[in-house]
Amino acid sequence: MTTITETRQQSAATPAESDAHSHADLARHAYRIRRFALRMGEVQGQGYIGQALGLADVLAVAFCHAMNLRPDEPEWEGRDRFLLSHGHYAIALYAALIEAGVIAEAELETYGSDDSRLPMSGMATYTPGMEISGGSLGQGLSIAVGMALGLRQKGNPAWVFNSMSDGELDEGATWEAAMSAAHHQLGNLITLVDVNQQQADGPSQRILGFEPLADKWRAFGWHVQRVDGNDLAAVIAAFDQARDVSEPVPRVILFDTLMGKGVPFLEQREKNHFIRVDPEEWQQAIAVLDAAQPAGDRA
């Protein structure tokens, strides 16, 4: 059975051609992830759409470049695990799972509805590819540490990717897990932090200042990178470097992202942790995304 990673390797020509092709492909994947998220938001008239648009480039690289998956076998034992610690980002992960082929595109029309496999907050019992039920912020990294330990003890070479928000840096459990991961030398664990500087109660730094963030993670014994999470080339390079670290240490990538990225009138909204979107604006947002794409690449 062919995996996403295997398909990418088989289609490669020369390294230069492969890199250019991969960048163009990943840009299209990111566009489609944004578009799927907006379509789901329109179904319910609400959702954490600012986060989905901001994290789309990271998700495109994770699911369509870095991770080893079998879309038609989401519980394959050899898969890389992607944990959505910030469960309110579910709409973003659903969009990525649709783009990766784990979930059928037609299901997005059921988002948030009764008996849907796509509830508004991530629940592992409902959704293929949803590894944990997120929601209580600060728990994902602890689960990821246990999962990475278990995989190592079983001799399973799979990676564990834990996606979390900058708001979760306010939680003590996050730093206990960070210390534990370094103690156990979990070189199979990569944490992705969405540093979008917004929380429900206001700007993240005003709620509880966490800078200098890179220095803190480094002091806890992690390999640290900090990049622009909306610079696709930088995101690709960060994932590749994280996987290539030779030392047996956990790795963290701090992604500075812009809420609402790709839709300027949403980027500029104040208090955009949970954006208020008028009914007619969903289609306007999709039109803005489409207009930015070459005609042949539009969904």
Closest of 7, 34, 12, 35 to residue 23, by C-alpha: 12
**SS3 label, residue 199:** strand
- Name residue 143's amino acid: I
Q: Which residues of 264-295 are buried (b: 16+ CB within 10 A; e: fewer)?
A: eebeeeeebbebebeeebbeebbebbeeeeee
Determine contact, residues 274/63, Cβ cutoff 8 Å: no
Residues contacting residue 193 through CB under 8 Å, at least 6 positions apart: 164, 165, 166, 168, 169, 213, 252, 253, 254, 255
> What pLDDT score was predicted for residue 296?
63
The CATH T-level fold of domain 16-297 is Rossmann fold (3.40.50)
Determine contact, residues 34/243, Cβ cutoff 8 Å: no
Is the pLDDT score of 119 beyond 90?
no
- The pTM of this model reads 0.90
Token pair 């907006």 in the structure block, residue: 38
Task: Please give the Cα distance from 4 to 30 (Å, whole number).
Answer: 16
**Per-residue pLDDT tens digits for 229-248:** 999 999 999 999 999 999 99
152 pLDDT band (50/70/90 cuts)?
very high
